[in-house]
Chain A
Amino acid sequence: MTLAVFFGCTFIAFGPALGLFLFTIARDPLRIIILIAGAFFWLVSLLLSSLIWFIAVKASDPNDEQLQKGLLIFGVMFSVLLQEAFRFLYYKLLRKAIEGLVALSEDGCSPISIQQMAYVAGVGFGLMSGAFSMINLLADALGPGTVGIYGDSQLYFLTSAFMTMVLIFLHTFWGILFFHGCENRRWWEIAAVVVMHLAVSGSTFCNPLYVGSLVPSYVLMAVAATWAYLLSGGSAQNVRRFLLCLQSGASPQPGS
Chain B
Amino acid sequence: MASALFNTDQNDNSERRRHDNSERRRNDNPESETNGQPQNNIQQVVEQDEEEDEELTLKYGAKHVIMLFVPVTLCMVVVVATIKSVSFYTRKDGQLIYTPFTEETETVGQRALNSILNAAIMISVIIVMTILLVVLYKYRCYKVIHGWLIISSLLLLFFFSFIYLGEVFKTYNVAMDYITLALMIWNFGVVGMICIHWKGPLRLQQAYLIMISALMALVFIKYLPEWTAWLILAVISVYDLVAVLCPKGPLRMLVETAQERNETLFPALIYSSTMVWLVNMAEEDPEAQRKASKNSTYDKQAPANQAQNEDAEADDGGFSQEWQQQRDSRIGPIESTPESRAAVQALPSNSQTSEDPEERGVKLGLGDFIFYSVLVGKASATASGDWNTTLACFVAILIGLCLTLLLLAIFKKALPALPISITFGLVFYFATDNLVQPFMDQLAFHQFYI
The residue that B446 contacts in the complex, of A40, A47, A69, A101, with Cβ under 8 A, is A69
Known contacts being A104-B55, A132-B391, is A200 close to B449, with CB within 8 Å? yes
CB A18 to nearest CB in B, in angstroms, measures 16
When distances are taken between beta carbons in the complex, the residues of chain B under 8 Å from A106 are 51, 55
Q: Is there contact, CB below 8 Å, between A167 and B435?
A: no
Contact with B along A28-67 (1 / 0, CB 8 A): 0110110011011001001101110110010000000000
Q: Report if A232 contacts B (CB, 8 A).
A: no
Interface: B239 (CB within 8 A): no
B144 within 8 A of A: no
Q: Any chain A CB within 8 A of the CB of B444?
A: yes
Is A47's CB under 8 angstroms from B395's CB? no
B450 neighbours in A (Cβ, 8 Å): 46, 49, 76, 79-80, 83, 129, 201
Contact flag A43-B395 (CB < 8 Å), given A132-B388, A205-B448: yes
A224 interface residue, CB < 8 Å from B? no
Beta-carbon nearest neighbor of B392 in chain A = A43
Is A137 an interface residue when CB atoms closer than 8 A count as contact? yes
Q: Is the CB of A105 within 8 A of B55?
A: yes
Q: How far is the CA of A40 from the CA of B57 in the complex (A)?
A: 24
Give Cα distance in the complex from A33 to B402, angstroms.
Answer: 8
The winner among A39, A49, A132 for most chain B CB atoms within 10 A is A132
**Within B382-437, which residues are at the interface with A (CB < 8 Å)?**
385-388, 391-392, 395-396, 398-399, 402, 428, 431-432, 434-436
Chain B interface, number of residues (Cβ within 8 angstroms): 39
Q: Which B residues are CB-close (under 8 A) to A69?
A: 446
Expressed in whole angstroms, the Cα–Cα distance for A53 and B439 within the complex equals 7
Assembled-state Cα–Cα distance A34/B55 (Å): 20
B137 within 8 A of A: no
Q: Is B290 an interface residue (CB 8 A)?
A: no
Q: In this assembly, does B351 line the interface, its C-beta being within 8 Å of a C-beta of chain A?
A: no
Total A-B residue pairs with C-beta atoms closer than 8 Å? 115
A-B interface, 3 closest residue pairs, ranked by CB to CB distance from nearest: A207-B447, A29-B66, A50-B439
Collect the chain A residues with CB atoms within 8 Å of residue B447's CB.
156, 159-160, 163, 204, 207-208
Query: From residue 349 to 398 of chain B, which have CB atoms closer than 8 A to chain A?
Result: 385-388, 391-392, 395-396, 398
Q: A29-B63, A33-B65, A132-B391 are in contact. Are A72 and B446 (CB under 8 A)?
A: yes
**List of B residues within 8 angstroms of A116 by Cβ:** none
Supply 20 A–B pairs (Cβ within 8 Å), ascending by A.
A29-B63, A29-B65, A29-B66, A32-B66, A36-B402, A47-B435, A51-B431, A54-B438, A72-B446, A73-B448, A128-B395, A131-B391, A132-B391, A133-B444, A135-B387, A135-B391, A136-B388, A204-B449, A207-B446, A207-B448
> Is the C-beta of A139 less than 8 angstroms from some C-beta in chain B?
yes
Q: Could you say which residues of chain B place their CB within 8 Å of the CB of A136?
A: 385-388, 440, 444
List A149-167 residues whose CB lies under 8 Å from chain B: 156, 159-160, 163, 167
Among candidates B63, B399, B439, residue contacting A40 with C-beta atoms closer than 8 Å:
B399
> In whole angstroms, how far apart are the Cα atoms of A159 and B386 in the complex?
22
Report B-chain residues with C-beta under 8 Å of the C-beta of A128. Answer: 395
| Majority secondary structure, B binding face | helix
A46-B436, A132-B388, A136-B387 in contact; A72/B448 too (CB < 8 A)? yes
Give every chain B residue within 8 A of A200 (Cβ-Cβ): 449
Q: Kindly state the interface size class of chain A when it binds its partner.
A: 35 or more
- A137–B444 contact, CB under 8 A? yes
For residue A10, give the distance in angstroms from its CB to the closest CB of chain B. Answer: 13
Mask for A156-188, Cβ within 8 A of B = 1, else 0?
A: 100110010001000000000000000000000
Q: With A76-B450, A201-B448 in contact, is A47–B432 under 8 Å at CB?
A: yes
In the complex, A126 has a CB within 8 A of chain B: no
Q: How far is the CA of A33 from the CA of B63 in the complex (A)?
A: 10
Q: Taking the nearest CB of chain B, how far is it from the CB of A159, in angstroms?
A: 8
B395 touches A135 (CB 8 A): no
Set of chain B residues within 8 Å of A33, measured between Cβ atoms = 62, 65-66, 402
B439 touches A54 (CB 8 A): yes
CB neighbours (8 Å) of B69 from chain A are 32, 36
Closest partner residue, chain A, to B431 (CB atom): A47
Q: A32-B69, A104-B55, A135-B387 are in contact. Are A40 and B395 (CB under 8 A)?
A: yes
Q: For the complex, what is the distance from the CA of A57 to the CA of B437, rounded to whole Å? A: 14
Check if B181 is an interface residue, CB within 8 A of chain A: no
B422 → A minimal CB distance (Å):
16
- Minimum CB–CB distance for A167 against chain B, Å: 6
CB contacts (< 8 Å) of A30 on chain B: these are 62
Minimum CB–CB distance from A38 to chain B (whole Å) comes to 10
